[in-house]
Structure formats: C-alpha cells, structure tokens
C-alpha cells in the first residue's frame, strides 16, 4: 500500500506535541516511580503514570492511521505484538524517553515517534523536547526541520562535545571511551572535550546536532540494554537527512526492526556530527 509520508508526519507531529503537553503538566509535580521489566540498568526499568498517559494520547492519534494505511505498532510501554514484521511500515513510539531525567527534574527527556519500513529504514522521525518546547522532525528525502523550519546545523565549537546519559566517570569502559574521544579531538584539531551528561538517548542524539562537533555512542556489550529500537528510530531519520552517521558502533546500518530483541546492546550505536 502506498502511503502519504507528509500526511503521516503531520499526524505524528500532532501526537508528539499532545504527549509533550502531558509531560509539561507534570514537570514540577512529585511523581510515583514504578519498575518494569527492562534492560540491565535502572534507567531502562523505571516507568511513571506520565509515560503511560503519553502513550495513550499518542495511540489515540496514531491508531486510526494503522487501520487506514495498514501500519504496525511498536511502543515502549506495550507488548510487542509482532505487527512490525507483518506490515510494510510500523510506528515506533517512545512516549517519554529519558524518564530518569524527568524524575530528577532535569532536562533531557522527550517524546519520540518514528515511522519505520519493514526493512528497518526510518522514513519519518519526530522528537519534541518539552523543556525547551522545541520540535524536531525529518521525512525521508525531504530534509530535517526544527520548529517546522528547515534546519541547518552549524558546528562552530573549538572543542568536541560528548553527549551521554551517564557521566564518563560513572560509565563502564570509560578508558576506552576516553581514548575514542581523544582520537576524534586530535583528528579534528580541537582544543578539548566537553561532556553533556544526563539526557536520555533521544536528546543525546539531538544535543550532538545542536553542539557540534559532537558525538554520542554506546559500546557493544553482553548485558541486555544499550537502548532499544524506539530510542534511536526517530533520530536516525533526522541524522539520515543530514547525511550524518547514525549506525552501529562499528559503522554498519542500524537494524531498526530487529527480530531477536528490541535491545541494541549487541552491536552498540554511534551518532556522529563531526564534519
């Protein structure tokens, strides 16, 4: 079935902004935190009523398109029903990425929605940052946008920005990561390295675009985690439209429709805005 990407992007933007309003309503409230099955880290196991309310709002916008255009669904707070393997396209939803940042009342949380083809290619990516009220989106072949205006990034810093959820001091393999950062710094002739820590994976990728030259990556690991498909789907589309790297750690194409698991720990990820 042929789909209208412009129309579906409009619906995804409306859904993202609606969920963003829910988050903004609770930003200064004390929220009860619950735990769910997740990866090996606390960040992947926490959930709040806000995550669930955001998901309900998003699905109210997207489900009619699933029926009208025969689109599958994958959402962080719902069971994977396998429709992503059956349909030509599926919605990939993170109702609130960076829940830990939200709980700690610090910036770094966001709403993220993507439309992914069955072969794992992202064709729409929408991200809303409720803290700054900034909307980012991209449509395959139509460029990237910030607050609905064509977005041109400018890398003007004389240092390398490392966007990360955890501080380098609190990260496994920190010595290996430091070595990678130093190599980029030297290659690019930069004066130093600056760390931006505490955001979820979605906003880490956005911060790397906003603070170039910059990178965000996760090394491959055996433990379950490393983010899930929904953590990378929307921003992979945005990076794709900039012609920038959003790949596995080794530089292979990200598989955004993995069959064995939604987790990305086996191959890691690498987002680079170093040009």
Binding residues for Mg(2+): 76, 94, 97, 231
Q: How far is CA 204 from CA 54, 183, 196, in A?
A: 21, 20, 8
With 0-12 / 13-18 / 19 or more C-beta atoms within 10 angstroms meaning exposed / middle / buried, residue 188 is middle
Q: How far is CA 15 from CA 5, 41, 165, 183, 196, in A?
A: 15, 28, 25, 41, 28
* DSSP-H helix ranges across 133-221: 174-188, 201-210
Question: In this structure, what is the dihedral angle of CA atoms 157, 168, 226, 101, given to the nearest 10 degrees?
Answer: -80
Binding site residues, as ranges? 76, 94, 97, 231
Q: Are 109 and 200 in contact (CB under 8 A)?
A: yes
What whole-number distance in Å separates Cα of residue 21 and Cα of residue 174? 37
Comparing CA positions, the residue from 269, 203, 199, 205 lying closest to residue 242 is 205
Q: For residue 260, what is the DSSP state?
A: S
Q: How far is CA 109 from CA 143, 208, 232, in A?
A: 24, 15, 14
Q: For residue 219, what is the DSSP state?
A: -
């Amino acid at each position: 079935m042929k789909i209208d990407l412009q129309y579906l992007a409009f619906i995804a933007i409306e859904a993202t902004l609606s969920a963003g309003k829910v988050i903004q309503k609770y930003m200064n409230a004390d929220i009860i935190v619950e735990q769910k099955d997740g990866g090996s880290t606390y960040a992947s196991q926490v959930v709040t009523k806000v995550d669930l309310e955001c998901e309900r709002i998003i699905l109210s916008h997207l489900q009619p398109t699933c029926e009208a255009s025969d689109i599958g669904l994958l959402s962080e707070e719902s069971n994977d029903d396998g429709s992503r393997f059956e349909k030509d396209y599926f919605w990939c939803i993170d109702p609130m990425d960076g829940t830990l940042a939200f709980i700690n009342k610090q910036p770094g949380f966001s709403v993220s929605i993507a439309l992914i083809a069955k072969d794992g290619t992202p064709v729409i990516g929408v991200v809303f940052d409720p803290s700054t009220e900034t909307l980012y989106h991209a449509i395959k072949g139509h460029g990237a946008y910030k607050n609905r205006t064509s977005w041109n990034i400018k890398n003007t810093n004389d240092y390398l920005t490392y966007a990360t959820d955890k501080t380098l001091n609190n990260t496994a393999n920190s010595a290996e990561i430091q070595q990678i950062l130093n190599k980029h710094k030297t290659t690019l002739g930069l004066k130093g390295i600056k760390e931006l820590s505490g955001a979820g994976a979605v906003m880490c990728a956005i911060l790397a675009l906003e603070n170039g030259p910059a990178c965000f990556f996760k090394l491959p690991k055996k433990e379950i985690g490393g983010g899930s498909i929904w953590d990378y789907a929307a921003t992979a589309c945005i990076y794709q439209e900039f012609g920038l790297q959003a790949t596995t750690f080794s530089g292979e194409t990200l598989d955004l429709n993995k069959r064995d698991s939604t987790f990305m720990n086996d191959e890691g990820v690498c987002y680079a805005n170093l040009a």
